[in-house]
Every structure is written in C-alpha cells, then in structure tokens.
Structure 1
Amino acid sequence: MQLKESHIVPQLDNPIRFQEYAVGIFSSIPTKSAIKKAIKKELIFIDEQLATTAKFITGGEKITLFASEVSPLFKRFEMPLEVVFEDEYLAIINKPAGILVSGNTFKTIDNALQQNIQKSLQFDAVRPRPVHRLDYPTTGLLVIGKTSASILALNNLFEQKKIKKTYFAICIGKMMPAGTIQFPIDEKNASSAYEVLQTARSKRFEFLNLVQLHPTTGRRHQLRKHLAGIGNPILGDQQYGIPNLILTGKGMYLHAGILEFTHPFTKEPMRIEKELPKAFTKIISSK
C-alpha cells in the first residue's frame, strides 16, 4: 500500500474516540462514515498499528492513511463564500440563505470550504470544518475550524456557552418591547432573550418588528419555535409560521449577526459583526 496522508495529533485536554477525532483530518475521507469504511478496509494506522473505531486518541499519535482502494478524492462544491475573518486557526464566513451547512448531500457549506478558506500552516492542519450549524434558510456568521486543536477548542467554547451569539429577525405581530422566552424544546430547558429595535405597521401583518435575539441555550430551531410560541413568528418561516401569514418566495428573515468570544489561541477578545441583509432594512423602512 502507498502512503497517502499523515497527521500528528496535538496534545489534547481529554481523550477522544478516534472515529470522532478523525473526521476532517484527511482530505479524501472527510466524513465519519468514510472514516469507518477506511478503518474496515485496514487503510488507517495509528502509531503503525491498525486503527479501530474503539481506539481513544490522547495526543502525540501519528495517524497514517494509505491509498490502496481508498475512495476517490472528495469532490468540492464550487461556490464562492464571503470570508469575514480568517487566521491560521479559524475562519468565520457569512452563510447565505438556502443552503445546508453540512449533511448527506453534495451542495453544502462544508463541501465549499476548501476553495474559500486558506489551508492552515499549523502542524495539525485539517480540512476546514464548520463547528456549529445554522438552519438552511438562516443567513449570517458561521465559525470554521482549520486545525484539529482549534476544532476541539471551539467545540468546547460552544459547549461551555462561552461564544455569545446575537441574531436579528423580522417578526410578525404586536410585541412587547423586550422579554425572555422560556419554555422547553424537545423536553429540554430553553431560554431566549429578545429586544424590539424597530416596529413598522403593515397592512398584511399588522406589525413587523426588527428584533435582536440572544439565545442562552442552543436547542434545534430554538429561536424559531420560541418566537412562534409567543405568537410572533419570524417572517417567511415556512415551518413555524402562522398559516395565513406566511410570506413565500422571499426566504426567512433570520440573521446571525454578531459573534463574541475569546480567541482560543491568541487569547484576544473577538467581536465579529455582519450587517443585516438589505432585505431586512428594506422591508422595515418601506412600511
């Protein structure tokens, strides 16, 4: 067998199962299912021993991938993306509406990253990978990890709620000036704070509100469910909107506009902002 790629594991704070760690370290097998197939075909070695899905990685291991019978190079989805910030460890892009971040389909942000993000010069550089998700119709800031260590560090920051996310939405109906929405989602506690920044009268919707949102938990579709739950769904939300008041053909008006966190490696305070899409300001100012 011919050596195809190799990777040195950085020092890790906690052991991690190999099949979880290995996603993204090799350009030709970027998914967990592909990792499992390569292990089954005996193409991956850890410190010159055959890899197993049960193996735990602790740091310092040399992982090698051999080329015999490995699947062809992973196809890249050709799509230009706006890179808002980038260094050797991470990048932040502006996700457009109408595309999945990742998943079992070709047209995803994940598959478009390699043509838009510079390869890191760090020793543990991997194929750039998103470290969180935004819904298919949502626009805005998405964090990308560029090294094994940064992906692990960023995941920890998200898990520990040390990355503050601010969203903006256009919501339907009369709203209180500010408030906190607290009711469970999928039987788990969920909390979202909101503040109305601007309100305009609307013939069809009665009121349209530009709202700033701070989720303090990260449940699936949390903001969309919470706002719909208080009777103020997001404009254009096909799934949770009020049936007679769903705006079609214009997308959903939810935007991830601000990220605040401490850079896990440079320790610099980060505040990254992306202005509202023009459609947001246009729909409020035109009413």
Structure 2
Amino acid sequence: MTLPEPVADGVQALYEDDDLLVLCKPPGMLCVPGRGPDKQDCLSARSQQRWPGALIVHRLDQATSGLVLMARHIDMQRRLSHAFAERQVHKRYQAVVQGLLGPVEQTWQEIDLPIAADWERRPLRVIDQTLGKPSQTRWRLLAQDGVAHTSRVELEPITGRTHQLRVHLAALGHPILGDTLYADEAAQQKAPRLLLHACVLEFAHPRHGAPCRFESAPDF
C-alpha cells in the first residue's frame, strides 16, 4: 500500500497501489476527453501524466465531484469493470436538493423509475414507462434547511444509468441545486455548481480480496 501525495495536478489522490488508484475529481472536469481541442484536459489525461498506463473504469458526470476508481493496467481494468457490472462496487453520493422532503428519518427509500434517452434533446434523459430501462436509486434524508427550503440527501444507485440520480430526483420534484439540465431556474440559481458528490466507494480488492472503503466529504 502506498499513500500518495495529497494533490496531483489539481486532482486529489486518496490511494494508490500497483493495481489501482482512488482519485477525487473536482467539479467541472471531464473523466475522459471530449470532442474538440478544448475538451482534451480531463481526469484520465492528468492521471496518465503521473501514472502512465492509468485506465478509466467508470465515470462521473463532468459537473459531479467525488471519488473515481482507476486501474493501473489492462488486467485490473477488466477485473474492476466486471465488479461494476456485477454490482460488487458500492457507491454512495450526497446531494442538496430543492424543497423539503419531510421529517428526517434514517430509513432508506427507493425510487424505481425507468430511464430512457431523450433523443430529440440529447444528452438529456427522461422517465419513460414504455421505452425506459429499469433504474433504481435508494435515498435517505440527512438534513433539511427550512429557511433555504432545501434538503440534504444520501443516495445509493442500484443501477448505473446516465444521469440517473439527477433524473430520479427531478422526477420526485426535488431537483439537485445547480443542475443546469434538470432543475428549474430557481434551483439552478441556488448554487454555483451541481451539488452532487460521490462520497463513498466500497469494494473487495480484485488482487487479494481485502475489503476497501474510501470516503470523501462534500465541500458543500
């Protein structure tokens, strides 16, 4: 086990070994290069400068901050990709949403709404009971602010659809603050960025099976 330097090219590195990396992506950074010369700066490019051969395993939206797991070589990328596909990697997020969700309770609740691509407004997604793919998100209320009329929630995606957490919360009538895709103008104006952060990654290390858990507190 190697504890890396706290910051690498603006990306916080929480952990590294010969097989994998756990990084904390800042908001506004792409995970992989986009189209055009102005979209080449990204998490994978910066990581490869310090860890040659580093490979993306999963992604966060550009606007989302938080924990990203990367592989150091192709065999580990295959193993980790399989773990994600088999839902053996457990992720949790925190978000601040518009509106009050009721009394603070520790019990988890589930959103079960199918998500489909909105082909006329790509890259947007929509709830579609006919064409949508099964999509489930567990959530619980952590706190609420009666003055600001907002709630802080913890989220656990069961499936991994594009924009799943953003679409599901908006469908409940509680969009994430700062969400320029799914929130109304009032919710967008309440935050300078999307208030969504990947705060927990938990999995068994593919090399030796030891349990791994990493946490990153949101800065909002």
Say yes or no: TM over 0.5.
yes
Residues 111-147 of structure 1, C-alpha deviations (whole Å, 9 max, x = no match):
1112333x5xxxxxxx101100000110000011001
- Is 1:93 the counterpart of 2:23? The answer is yes
Answer yes or no: is the 8 Å Cα contact 1:180–1:192 preserved in 2: yes
Structure 2 counterpart of 1:97, one-letter code: P
For the pair 1:216 / 2:161, whether they are aligned, the reply is no
Structure 2 residue 137 is matched with structure 1 residue 192: yes
Question: Distance in 2 between the 1:150 and 1:98 partners?
Answer: 27
User: Which position in structure 2 is the counterpart of 1:112?
Assistant: 46
The amino acid of 1:84's aligned partner reads L
Paired with 1:157 and 1:249, the residues of 2 have a C-alpha distance of 34
Give the CA deviation at 1:79.
3.2
Residues 261-272 of structure 1 mapped to structure 2, 5 A cutoff: 261-272=203-214
Amino acid at match of 1:109: L
Question: CA separation in 2, counterparts of 1:249 and 1:235?
Answer: 6
Which shows bigger deviation, 230-239 or 176-185?
Answer: 176-185
Structure 2: give runs of 5+ residues left out of the alignment: 1-7, 117-131
Equivalent position SS for 2:138: strand
Residue 113 of structure 1 aligns to a residue whose secondary structure is: helix
Structure 2 counterparts to residues 26-175 of structure 1, below 5 A: 79-104=9-34, 105-117=39-51, 127-175=53-101
Give 3-state SS (helix, strand or coil) of 1:115's partner.
Answer: helix
What code does the residue aligned with 2:42 have?
T
TM-score (ref. length: structure 1): 0.63
Match of 1:202 in 2: 147
Superimposed CA distance per residue, residues 222-246 of structure 1 (whole angstroms, 9 cap, x where no aligned partner): 0000000000000100100023332
SS state of the match for residue 143, structure 2?
A: strand
The residue matched to 2:45 in structure 1 has which SS?
A: helix
1:228 match: 170
| Aligned-pair CA distance for 1:248 | 6.4
SS, match of residue 31 in structure 2: coil
Secondary structure, counterpart of 2:50 in structure 1? coil
Amino acid at match of 2:80: L
Q: Which residue of 2 aligns with 1:252?
A: 194
> 3-state SS of the aligned residue for 1:192?
strand
1:102–1:165 Cα change, 3 Å: same
Alignment partner, residue 183 of structure 1: 113
Highest relative contact order (Cα 8 Å, sep 6+), 1 or 2?
2
RMSD: 1.6
Partners of 1:170 and 1:215 in 2: how far apart? 16
Moved more, 216-225 or 169-178: 169-178
Shift in Å, 1:247: 2.0
Q: How many pairs does the alignment contain?
A: 190
Q: Amino acid of the residue matched to residue 264 of structure 1? A: P
Sequence identity percentage: 32
Find the counterpart in structure 2 of residue 57 from structure 1. Answer: none
Aligned amino acid, residue 113 of structure 1: S
* Separation (CA, whole Å) in 2 of partners of 1:184 and 1:259: 25
* 3-state SS of paired residue (2:134): coil
TM-score, normalised with respect to structure 2: 0.82
Separation in structure 2 between the aligned mates of residue 253 and residue 182 of structure 1, nearest angstrom: 22
CA distance in 2, matches of 1:254, 1:275: 11
1:80–1:116 CA contact under 8 A, matched in 2:
no
Q: Is the 8 A contact 2:100 2:146 kept in 1?
A: no
1:249 positional shift: 6.4
